[in-house]
Structure 1
Amino acid sequence: MAGTSEAVAALQQLTALLGRRHDDWRTFKAYGERALLISFVNPHAVRMTIDRPGYASDLAGMDVLLPDGNLLAASASRQLGRVIARESFDGNSLAPEVFAFCRTHALKVALVGGVDGVAERAAAVFATEFDVDVAYARSGFFNGEGDVHACYDRLRALNVDVVICGMGAPHQERFLLGLKNSGWTGLGFTCGGYLDQALDGGVKYYPEWVNRFNLRAPYRLFREPGRLWRRYLIEYLPFVVADLRLRMARGPALPGAEP
């Protein structure tokens, strides 16, 4: 396991990114001068920051970074001395608001993610549930860089306004950064496994009682034990260790944070 000092440094780095002042995606207007990219991190990001060179830089390239999970949101709030609210791209959080925003402003949406057929089926679900115009959908698996750039070209040619990318970290962040660098100026969101969740459990994956009592992590572990037991019980450990160390240190852990 990563050393405590490495884990603390990684958590502080993530917290600094979560604490940045940023634009509100709700002010986005189509055909602007630059893309606006929004991504989300959970406690697993501490280990990824340690183990994957460049991951922190990819996150820093996002215009908005939000905490997907109450544990990370609470840790960031303690360190920064102000409330950092938990938000994620799912049916119990931002997804309905994003799709309503797209519908209200007649924005074209693209879905990129999952294995073959997942994005297309999710597009049909979202069109029915949210009355949103999904102009393009494809899997998150590509046959080399040429295939990736062909996708970028297609998204620009279609004048897609909003891209929702569910390829898992760090691939989804790198996809959106590459799309932005190709000259696209839309609104991009990462969504992790939400496309699969929407097919498996409906657009609102979590029952209301689970969401109300903040039991999302145990509920997901119950629903998807084979995929998530290692993440929750092993890969979250660097975050747990770092957060405990910072709690023991008392007071804000970042320079400039309010006591």
Structure 2
Amino acid sequence: MIDTCTICGLRVSRGSLQTHLAEIKRRAQHGEGAWLLTLNTEMLARSVREPDYMRLMSTADVITADGMPLVWASHFKADGGPIDGRTTGVDLVHALLQSDDVPAFAIIGGKAPWVTVQAYGPRAVQACKYVFEDKVDLSEAQLSTFCMELAQREVKVVFIALGVPKQDHLASALRKRLPNLVLTGIGGSFEILSPGGGRAPAWMQRAGLEWFYRFGKEPARLWRRYLVSYPVGVWHLFKDCLVSRA
């Protein structure tokens, strides 16, 4: 059982990256399945204007803090205690693919994810059982195809690289149909981890400035996310902390 604290009405795990990595492997090995959601401030901003999305996120089995603002906010919460560091989609993909016992996994979405998988060596390549890079429309026909492919190939973990909120809708739909799978939305993680990608320096990650590093690399694509959605999410987080301290 993972300890949690309540942030903006969601039960967020207080565990570390290693805790979540071990939980994914345990569930995959025993066929328990789970939807693991990595929560960030963009998603919090969306939940303010879209109550249905908030309800969708609340159904995830495990929610981790993807972003230092959530970790910092946990220090002000009365219940549970502080979160033991952030767990991002990038962190999870990297940790799983470089481990000695990579569970059988599939990738839905992303840009050239197979290139990234190959960069992690033969264990990751052997464990990768299915890659789907075409358009995802969430139709019943496509969901049936996914379920058939994932079941036949005996996949244990599914990385969904579609961005918010599509990856969350797909994770929820697959969770209902294949309850033995471990599913997690990881956005552009495979692009960041690719040979041509790159993460922010460690000090920027610790300071909560990785968003600024990404924005500097792709301002035309990311300006709305970081200059509009990000502040709204941070403000929602700030108000939640004030209420909890009242």
Is the alpha carbon distance of 1:96 and 1:121 closer, same or farther for their aligned partners in structure 2, counting shifts above 3 Å?
closer
CA contact 2:105–2:157 (8 Å) conserved in 1: yes
Identify the residue that residue 71 of structure 2 maps to in structure 1: 73
2:172 maps to 1:173: no
Identify the residue that residue 152 of structure 2 maps to in structure 1: 157
TM-score (norm 1): 0.76
CA contact 1:166–1:190 (8 Å) conserved in 2: yes
Identity over aligned pairs, percent: 21
Q: What residue identity is the alignment partner of 2:144?
A: H
Is the alpha carbon distance of 1:245 and 1:57 closer, same or farther for their aligned partners in structure 2, counting shifts above 3 Å?
closer
Identify the residue that residue 113 of structure 2 maps to in structure 1: 119
Identify the residue that residue 92 of structure 2 maps to in structure 1: 94
2:22 maps to 1:26: yes
Q: What residue identity is the alignment partner of 1:113?
A: G
Q: C-alpha distance in 1, partners of 2:106/2:221?
A: 27
The number of equivalent residue pairs is 233
String of CA shifts for 1:165-185, please: whole Å, max 9, x gaps: 111122112212222211341
CA contact 2:13–2:65 (8 Å) conserved in 1: no
Q: How much does 1:244 deviate?
A: 4.1
TM-score (norm 2): 0.80
Q: What residue identity is the alignment partner of 1:252?
A: R
CA contact 1:34–1:185 (8 Å) conserved in 2: yes
Is the alpha carbon distance of 1:188 and 1:132 closer, same or farther for their aligned partners in structure 2, counting shifts above 3 Å?
farther
Q: How much does 1:131 deviate?
A: 6.0
String of CA shifts for 1:2-33, please: whole Å, max 9, x gaps: xxxxxxxxx6224xx21589x95514154635
Q: What residue identity is the alignment partner of 2:87?
A: E
CA contact 2:115–2:194 (8 Å) conserved in 1: yes
Q: How much does 1:159 deviate?
A: 0.3
String of CA shifts for 1:99-120, please: whole Å, max 9, x gaps: 244x42x5211111125xx233
Q: C-alpha distance in 2, partners of 1:127/1:178?
A: 31
SS of the residue corresponding to residue 46 of structure 1 reads: helix
Tell me which structure has the larger Cα radius of gyration. Answer: 1
Q: Where do 5+ consecutive residues of structure 2 fail to align?
A: 1-6
167, 178, 181: which one aligns with 1:183: 178
Identify the residue that residue 56 of structure 1 maps to in structure 2: 54
String of CA shifts for 1:56-112, please: whole Å, max 9, x gaps: 22212211101111112212331245212321021xx333322244x42x5211111
SS of the residue corresponding to residue 74 of structure 2 reads: helix
Q: C-alpha distance in 2, partners of 1:211/1:24?
A: 19
Identify the residue that residue 252 of structure 1 maps to in structure 2: 245
96, 104, 120: which one aligns with 1:108: 104
Q: How much does 1:122 deviate?
A: 3.1
Identify the residue that residue 46 of structure 1 maps to in structure 2: 44
SS of the residue corresponding to residue 18 of structure 1 reads: strand
SS of the residue corresponding to residue 154 of structure 2 reads: coil
Q: C-alpha distance in 1, partners of 2:40/2:216?
A: 18
Q: C-alpha distance in 2, partners of 1:182/1:63?
A: 15
